[in-house]
Amino acid sequence: MHDEPIDPFNGDPADPTAGLDDPGDDATPDPLTDVERQDVLEDLADLEIYQALLAPIGVRGLVIECEDCREPHYFDWDLLRGNLRHLLNSGRPRVHEPAYDPDPDHYVTWDYARGYADGVHDTLTEGTEDEPGTPTATQ
């Protein structure tokens, strides 16, 4: 069982996305760096886990403190996924498109979701000694 999502193109010189970098075209924004792309892919993978764990207990999405507006924005799971995919494809974040008239009680932060997922993971692996000892890196 793998704890960390794996980027299939990580370190692969034959990365099929490498050809997307066309510095001659001014109309396209700078593509994400490998590190940024990796971050987005990891966020997407985390998102799947968080939604699977939290949606059944009534959580509708995540709340993100916006650095531009200095206000919390509430994003449904689908919206979050769409935004991350958009970022991955276009290289720039989407204009703020938070959920309409959200109920703050139904949204949690990334940190909360991460902590919750870690807690569930610990509970599931507690007492089972057959898992290879992979140290979990805290981010």
**Which residues contact Zn ion by CB under 5 A?**
66, 68-69, 96
Closest distance of CB 34 from Zn ion, Å: 27
Least distance in Å: CB of 104 to Zn ion? Answer: 16
Question: In angstroms, what is the minimal distance from the CB of 68 to Zn ion?
Answer: 5
Q: Which residue's CB is nearer to Zn ion, number 20 or number 69?
A: 69
Q: Judged by CB, which is closer to Zn ion: 50, or 74?
A: 74
Q: Taking a C-beta distance cutoff of 8 angstroms, is the pair 48, 40 a contact?
A: no
Which residue number, 69 or 124, has a Cβ lying nearer to Zn ion?
69
Q: What separation in angstroms does the CA of 115 have from each of 28, 52, 78?
A: 37, 14, 21
Q: Considering only CA atoms, which of 72, 70, 97, 66 is closest in space to residue 82?
A: 97
Nearer to Zn ion, 21 or 92 (CB): 92
93/30 Cα distance (integer angstroms)? 12
CB of 46 to Zn ion, least distance (A): 21
Compute the distance between CA of residue 103 and CA of residue 107 in angstroms, rounded to an integer.
Answer: 7
Closest residue to Zn ion: CB criterion: 66
